[in-house]
Amino acid sequence: MRVGIIAVGRLKAGPEKDLVARYLDRFAKAGPACGLDFSRVTELAESRASNAETRKREEAAEIEKAIPANALLIALDERGKSLDSEEFAAFVGLHKDNGRRDMTLIIGGADGLDPSLRQKAELILNLGKLTWPHQIVRILLAEQLYRAVTIFSGHPYHRS
């Protein structure tokens, strides 16, 4: 299954971008042995509309253009379901084993995701009750993708 990330906003050069790249590189190298191929991170410009609802709607339109056809959608949203690492890995593994070709994880802009995207998602994922900056969300997501591969392969990186 090909795994991609769509994010509203761009990461600037610095330690956050380096850490995301490190985990995604690990995922890209270890994933194929488990049937997971990293496709790419697609960064989209933030809307400059004057109100939050319009910004979310405009960003959703751009996100939808970037989603592969029939992809399994995972939307990150503070009102989503909180999973532990093993539950997240099991969710990914179930869909991989059921023959899903693409999985896309969506990180919205500063105002969140438009309701239309949340409705299309097969999983709305919450990374905890705390509020996280988008740079850290990318780090957490990249690390959890790598951790899922280590769980599948029985690698000692994940200690349960």
DSSP SS3 for 121: coil
Question: What residues in the chain have per-residue pLDDT under 50?
Answer: none
The pLDDT score that the predictor gives to residue 127 is 94
Give me the residue spans of the domains in the chain.
Answer: 2-153
As annotated, the binding site for S-adenosyl-L-methionine includes: 76, 108, 127-132
**At CA 106, angle to CA 105 and CA 108, rounded to 5?**
160
pLDDT computed for residue 158 by the predictor: 67
pLDDT of residue 118: 94
Q: What is the CATH number of domain 2-153?
A: 3.40.1280.10
Cα–Cα dist 58/64, whole Å? 10
Annotated binding site: 76, 108, 127-132
